[in-house]
Amino acid sequence: MDDIGEPVMIPDPVRRIVSLVPSLTEAVAATLPEALVGATDWCSHPADLDVTRVRGTKNPDLEAVVRLGPDVVLANAEENRPADLAALRAAGLAVWVTRIETLEEAFASLAQMFVHACRTDRPSWLDAAEAAWRRPAPARRRTAVVPIWRRPWMVAGRDTFTGDVLRRLGVDNLYAGHAERYPRIPLAELVARRPDLVVLPDEPYAFSATDGPECFPGLECALVSGRLLTWYGPSLLEAARTLPRDLGTA
């Protein structure tokens, strides 16, 4: 059973994997590089990834995926559309869906994915990542808003992996209690909340030193890697080392 409770018939061994999620692509490339045969156009890590591209997470080329003949297709409940996954199942492919909203879910989900969907041992980098995040929460806590888009402004809201990562690092998302996961919030309201910190990741919107901080005069802004803030995989090791420094919670 995958993370959404769907039974999945997986062959043993698994020799061909298509990943429809950038973070899962990086995880498989670090663990079973010889089995990875397809990935999305957005799968940017590792930089030298040389596999067949199957368009994006929200508009995969389903025929291309089928032609690759994967033993399993890796997907995510948030990243991929149910209709696309249903079409792949209807074509006779095994589709394994992850659902990850917290760090603890990431560790458990990835372990299950590798053992049951990829038919391999739990990778050593996953053990190292889990150990790196076994740390007491900082005594000093800060509040934050986390824009993920502008025009219109959107922020991380409830039940997001981003929010849980920040929480573990001593940063409390002011919109964690919002009814929506990624609500649209007017800029004036974001500024009026007077957070201790405005966290500006470089994806999905590419916030930068010249695009974003100028909208929050008088507020401290932290430019961070979106990959470290939102991906679950080998990047979790780097995130544990780098994000506390970037957020000022080290």
Strands, DSSP E only, in 133-176? Answer: 142-145, 147-149, 154-155, 171-173
3-state secondary structure (DSSP) of residue 85: helix
Query: pTM for the whole thing?
Result: 0.93
**Number of other residues whose CB lies within 10 A of the CB of residue 218:** 6
Across the chain, how many H-helices and E-strands are there?
9, 11
Pick 142-247's CATH classification: 3.40.50.300, 3.90.1660.10, 3.40.50.1980, 3.50.50.60.
Answer: 3.40.50.1980
Residue ranges of the domains in the chain?
17-131, 142-247
Residue 74 CA to residue 82 CA, distance in Å, equals: 13
Residue 71 CA to residue 5 CA, distance in Å, equals: 19
For 79, the token pair is 């990243």
For 109, the token pair is 């989900």
Does domain 17-131 fall under CATH 1.10.357.10? My reply is no
**Can you give the pLDDT at residue 140?**
84
Express as a percent the part of the chain with pLDDT over 90: 96
3-state secondary structure (DSSP) of residue 55: strand
Digit-coded pLDDT (tens) for 115-131: 999 999 999 999 999 99
Instruction: Indicate if 142-247 has the same CATH topology as 17-131.
Output: yes
Predicted confidence band at 203 (pLDDT cuts at 50, 70, 90)?
very high
